[in-house]
Protein backbone atom coordinates (compact mmCIF):
# COMPACT_ATOMS: atom_id res chain seq x y z
CA UNK A 1 0.00 0.00 0.00
CA UNK A 2 2.91 2.33 0.68
CA UNK A 3 4.34 1.66 -2.78
CA UNK A 4 1.03 1.85 -4.67
CA UNK A 5 -1.27 4.73 -3.58
CA UNK A 6 -4.05 3.53 -5.90
CA UNK A 7 -4.15 0.24 -3.99
CA UNK A 8 -4.42 2.08 -0.65
CA UNK A 9 -7.24 4.25 -2.03
CA UNK A 10 -9.15 1.19 -3.25
CA UNK A 11 -8.89 -0.58 0.13
CA UNK A 12 -9.96 2.59 1.97
CA UNK A 13 -13.00 2.87 -0.31
CA UNK A 14 -13.97 -0.76 0.37
CA UNK A 15 -13.70 -0.18 4.15
CA UNK A 16 -15.87 2.96 3.90
CA UNK A 17 -18.53 1.14 1.88
CA UNK A 18 -18.50 -1.79 4.30
CA UNK A 19 -18.89 0.55 7.31
CA UNK A 20 -21.72 2.47 5.64
CA UNK A 21 -23.48 -0.78 4.81
CA UNK A 22 -23.17 -1.97 8.43
CA UNK A 23 -24.42 1.37 9.82
CA UNK A 24 -27.43 1.23 7.50
CA UNK A 25 -28.67 -1.82 9.47
CA UNK A 26 -28.84 0.16 12.73
CA UNK A 27 -32.41 0.26 14.08
CA UNK A 28 -34.00 1.65 17.26
CA UNK A 29 -36.37 -0.53 19.34
CA UNK A 30 -40.09 0.27 18.85
CA UNK A 31 -41.12 3.24 21.03
CA UNK A 32 -44.03 1.29 22.56
CA UNK A 33 -41.57 -1.07 24.26
CA UNK A 34 -39.88 1.77 26.16
CA UNK A 35 -43.19 3.48 26.95
CA UNK A 36 -44.75 0.27 28.25
CA UNK A 37 -41.81 -0.53 30.52
CA UNK A 38 -41.58 3.02 31.92
CA UNK A 39 -45.32 3.13 32.60
CA UNK A 40 -45.17 -0.17 34.43
CA UNK A 41 -42.23 1.01 36.54
CA UNK A 42 -44.00 4.28 37.43
CA UNK A 43 -47.19 2.48 38.42
CA UNK A 44 -45.24 -0.02 40.50
CA UNK A 45 -43.41 2.83 42.21
CA UNK A 46 -46.67 4.63 42.99
CA UNK A 47 -48.32 1.47 44.32
CA UNK A 48 -45.29 0.76 46.53
CA UNK A 49 -45.48 4.27 48.05
CA UNK A 50 -49.19 3.86 48.66
CA UNK A 51 -48.57 0.63 50.56
CA UNK A 52 -45.89 2.30 52.69
CA UNK A 53 -48.36 4.98 53.89
CA UNK A 54 -51.21 2.48 54.29
CA UNK A 55 -53.18 4.24 51.51
CA UNK A 56 -54.37 0.87 50.20
CA UNK A 57 -54.36 -2.61 51.73
CA UNK A 58 -51.02 -4.39 51.57
CA UNK A 59 -52.33 -7.55 49.94
CA UNK A 60 -54.17 -5.61 47.26
CA UNK A 61 -51.03 -3.51 46.60
CA UNK A 62 -49.00 -6.68 46.02
CA UNK A 63 -51.55 -7.97 43.57
CA UNK A 64 -51.55 -4.68 41.65
CA UNK A 65 -47.74 -4.61 41.58
CA UNK A 66 -47.55 -8.11 40.21
CA UNK A 67 -50.15 -7.29 37.59
CA UNK A 68 -48.02 -4.40 36.33
CA UNK A 69 -44.86 -6.45 36.57
CA UNK A 70 -46.55 -9.11 34.47
CA UNK A 71 -47.75 -6.48 32.02
CA UNK A 72 -44.23 -5.06 31.78
CA UNK A 73 -42.81 -8.54 31.28
CA UNK A 74 -45.30 -9.32 28.53
CA UNK A 75 -44.54 -5.99 26.84
CA UNK A 76 -40.83 -6.71 27.10
CA UNK A 77 -41.25 -10.20 25.65
CA UNK A 78 -43.28 -8.86 22.73
CA UNK A 79 -40.66 -6.20 22.10
CA UNK A 80 -37.89 -8.79 22.37
CA UNK A 81 -39.65 -10.99 19.85
CA UNK A 82 -39.92 -8.11 17.40
CA UNK A 83 -36.27 -7.20 17.91
CA UNK A 84 -35.22 -10.82 17.45
CA UNK A 85 -36.95 -10.90 14.06
CA UNK A 86 -35.37 -7.57 13.10
CA UNK A 87 -31.91 -8.60 14.25
CA UNK A 88 -32.19 -11.96 12.50
CA UNK A 89 -33.07 -10.26 9.22
CA UNK A 90 -30.23 -7.79 9.70
CA UNK A 91 -27.87 -10.69 10.45
CA UNK A 92 -28.77 -12.30 7.14
CA UNK A 93 -28.22 -8.99 5.36
CA UNK A 94 -24.88 -8.58 7.12
CA UNK A 95 -23.86 -12.05 5.96
CA UNK A 96 -24.69 -11.06 2.38
CA UNK A 97 -22.64 -7.88 2.69
CA UNK A 98 -19.75 -9.84 4.21
CA UNK A 99 -19.88 -12.38 1.37
CA UNK A 100 -19.79 -9.55 -1.16
CA UNK A 101 -16.87 -7.98 0.70
CA UNK A 102 -14.98 -11.29 0.59
CA UNK A 103 -15.58 -11.57 -3.15
CA UNK A 104 -14.32 -8.02 -3.72
CA UNK A 105 -11.33 -8.72 -1.51
CA UNK A 106 -10.54 -11.85 -3.51
CA UNK A 107 -10.78 -9.89 -6.78
CA UNK A 108 -8.56 -7.17 -5.34
CA UNK A 109 -6.00 -9.78 -4.25
CA UNK A 110 -5.97 -11.27 -7.76
CA UNK A 111 -5.50 -7.79 -9.23
CA UNK A 112 -2.60 -7.12 -6.88
CA UNK A 113 -0.94 -10.39 -7.85
CA UNK A 114 -1.47 -9.68 -11.55
CA UNK A 115 -0.05 -6.16 -11.13
CA UNK A 116 2.98 -7.57 -9.30
CA UNK A 117 3.61 -10.01 -12.16
CA UNK A 118 3.31 -7.21 -14.71
CA UNK A 119 5.72 -5.03 -12.73
CA UNK A 120 8.27 -7.86 -12.59
CA UNK A 121 7.84 -8.38 -16.33
CA UNK A 122 8.42 -4.67 -17.00
CA UNK A 123 11.52 -4.76 -14.82
CA UNK A 124 12.91 -7.71 -16.78
CA UNK A 125 12.19 -6.02 -20.11
CA UNK A 126 13.77 -2.78 -18.92
CA UNK A 127 16.90 -4.65 -17.84
CA UNK A 128 17.14 -6.26 -21.29
CA UNK A 129 16.64 -3.14 -23.43
CA UNK A 130 18.88 -0.95 -21.24
CA UNK A 131 21.85 -3.32 -21.20
CA UNK A 132 25.03 -1.73 -22.55
CA UNK A 133 25.80 -4.82 -24.64
CA UNK A 134 22.42 -4.88 -26.41
CA UNK A 135 22.29 -3.85 -30.06
CA UNK A 136 18.94 -2.40 -31.07
CA UNK A 137 17.77 -2.94 -34.66
CA UNK A 138 14.69 -1.33 -36.20
CA UNK A 139 13.21 -3.59 -38.88
CA UNK A 140 11.36 -1.24 -41.21
CA UNK A 141 8.53 -2.35 -43.45
CA UNK A 142 9.35 -3.21 -47.06
CA UNK A 143 7.13 -2.07 -49.99
CA UNK A 144 4.90 -5.11 -49.49
CA UNK A 145 4.04 -3.88 -45.98
CA UNK A 146 5.36 -0.32 -45.43
CA UNK A 147 3.43 0.14 -42.14
CA UNK A 148 5.28 -2.74 -40.47
CA UNK A 149 7.73 -1.89 -37.72
CA UNK A 150 9.58 -4.34 -35.48
CA UNK A 151 12.38 -3.83 -32.96
CA UNK A 152 15.00 -6.53 -32.39
CA UNK A 153 17.18 -6.46 -29.26
CA UNK A 154 20.29 -8.55 -29.79
CA UNK A 155 22.29 -9.23 -26.64
CA UNK A 156 25.72 -9.89 -28.10
CA UNK A 157 27.22 -10.95 -24.77
CA UNK A 158 24.86 -13.94 -24.54
CA UNK A 159 23.61 -14.14 -28.20
CA UNK A 160 20.02 -13.82 -26.88
CA UNK A 161 17.49 -12.25 -29.25
CA UNK A 162 14.34 -10.42 -28.15
CA UNK A 163 11.70 -8.89 -30.38
CA UNK A 164 8.95 -6.29 -29.95
CA UNK A 165 6.28 -6.27 -32.66
CA UNK A 166 5.56 -2.55 -32.61
CA UNK A 167 3.34 -2.53 -35.69
CA UNK A 168 2.41 -5.56 -37.73
CA UNK A 169 -0.79 -6.24 -39.68
CA UNK A 170 -2.83 -9.09 -38.28
CA UNK A 171 -1.77 -12.20 -40.25
CA UNK A 172 -4.32 -13.88 -42.52
CA UNK A 173 -5.96 -17.12 -41.45
CA UNK A 174 -3.42 -19.96 -41.45
CA UNK A 175 -0.43 -17.59 -41.62
CA UNK A 176 2.19 -16.55 -39.04
CA UNK A 177 5.17 -14.20 -38.95
CA UNK A 178 8.63 -15.76 -38.73
CA UNK A 179 11.94 -14.11 -37.81
CA UNK A 180 15.10 -14.94 -39.72
CA UNK A 181 18.75 -14.18 -39.01
CA UNK A 182 21.08 -13.90 -41.98
CA UNK A 183 24.33 -15.63 -40.94
CA UNK A 184 27.10 -15.76 -43.56
CA UNK A 185 24.50 -15.16 -46.26
CA UNK A 186 22.29 -18.04 -45.12
CA UNK A 187 18.83 -17.40 -43.55
CA UNK A 188 18.50 -19.13 -40.17
CA UNK A 189 15.17 -19.63 -38.42
CA UNK A 190 15.02 -17.32 -35.38
CA UNK A 191 11.51 -18.25 -34.19
CA UNK A 192 7.82 -17.52 -34.69
CA UNK A 193 6.11 -14.27 -33.64
CA UNK A 194 2.98 -14.02 -31.50
CA UNK A 195 1.27 -10.78 -32.53
CA UNK A 196 -1.41 -11.24 -29.84
CA UNK A 197 1.14 -10.07 -27.24
CA UNK A 198 1.23 -6.62 -28.81
CA UNK A 199 4.56 -4.87 -28.34
CA UNK A 200 5.61 -7.02 -25.36
CA UNK A 201 9.11 -8.47 -25.60
CA UNK A 202 9.27 -11.96 -27.05
CA UNK A 203 12.32 -14.17 -26.60
CA UNK A 204 13.45 -15.60 -29.92
CA UNK A 205 16.12 -18.14 -30.90
CA UNK A 206 19.62 -17.10 -29.81
CA UNK A 207 21.93 -16.07 -32.65
CA UNK A 208 25.61 -15.27 -33.18
CA UNK A 209 27.44 -13.58 -36.06
CA UNK A 210 24.22 -12.38 -37.71
CA UNK A 211 24.59 -9.80 -40.51
CA UNK A 212 20.85 -9.00 -40.76
CA UNK A 213 17.41 -9.87 -39.44
CA UNK A 214 14.24 -10.19 -41.52
CA UNK A 215 10.57 -11.12 -41.08
CA UNK A 216 8.46 -13.10 -43.52
CA UNK A 217 4.84 -14.22 -43.55
CA UNK A 218 4.79 -18.03 -43.53
CA UNK A 219 2.28 -20.85 -43.11
CA UNK A 220 1.31 -21.24 -39.45
CA UNK A 221 4.04 -23.10 -37.61
CA UNK A 222 6.83 -21.76 -39.82
CA UNK A 223 8.90 -22.82 -42.81
CA UNK A 224 12.36 -24.35 -43.16
CA UNK A 225 13.34 -21.55 -45.55
CA UNK A 226 11.93 -18.04 -45.97
CA UNK A 227 9.37 -17.12 -48.59
CA UNK A 228 11.26 -14.25 -50.17
CA UNK A 229 8.24 -12.67 -51.91
CA UNK A 230 6.51 -12.56 -48.49
CA UNK A 231 9.33 -10.68 -46.71
CA UNK A 232 7.73 -7.70 -44.99
CA UNK A 233 10.55 -6.15 -42.87
CA UNK A 234 14.35 -6.24 -42.69
CA UNK A 235 17.36 -4.50 -41.10
CA UNK A 236 21.08 -4.99 -41.42
CA UNK A 237 23.26 -5.29 -38.32
pLDDT, tens digit, 9 for 90 and up, residues 79-136? 666 766 666 666 667 677 777 777 877 787 777 777 766 666 666 666 676 677 889 9
Higher per-residue pLDDT: 148 or 53: 148
56 falls in which pLDDT band (50, 70, 90)?
very low
pLDDT digits (tens, 9 = 90+) for 177-231: 999 999 999 999 999 998 887 668 899 999 988 999 999 999 999 999 999 999 9
Please classify residue 52 by burial: count the beta carbons closer than 10 Å to its beta carbon, then call 0-12 exposed, 13-18 middle and 19+ buried: exposed
The CA distance from 112 to 118, in Å, is 10
The CA distance from 85 to 75, in Å, is 16
Between 146-150, 153-157, 218-222, the lowest mean confidence (pLDDT) is in 153-157
The CA distance from 134 to 164, in Å, is 14
> Can you give the pLDDT at residue 102?
78
Task: List, in sequence order, every residue forming a beta bridge with 189; answer none if it has no partner.
Answer: 180
> Can you give the pLDDT at residue 118?
65
Q: How many CB atoms lie within 10 A of CB 193?
A: 21
pLDDT surpassing 50 at residue 46: yes
Amino acid sequence: MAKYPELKAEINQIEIEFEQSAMSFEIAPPLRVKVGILNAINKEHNQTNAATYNLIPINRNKNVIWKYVAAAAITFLIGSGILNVVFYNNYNQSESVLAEFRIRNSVLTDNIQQTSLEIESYKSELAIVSSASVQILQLKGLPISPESNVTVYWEKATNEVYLAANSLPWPPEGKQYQLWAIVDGVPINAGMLDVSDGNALQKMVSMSNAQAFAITLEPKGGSVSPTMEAMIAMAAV
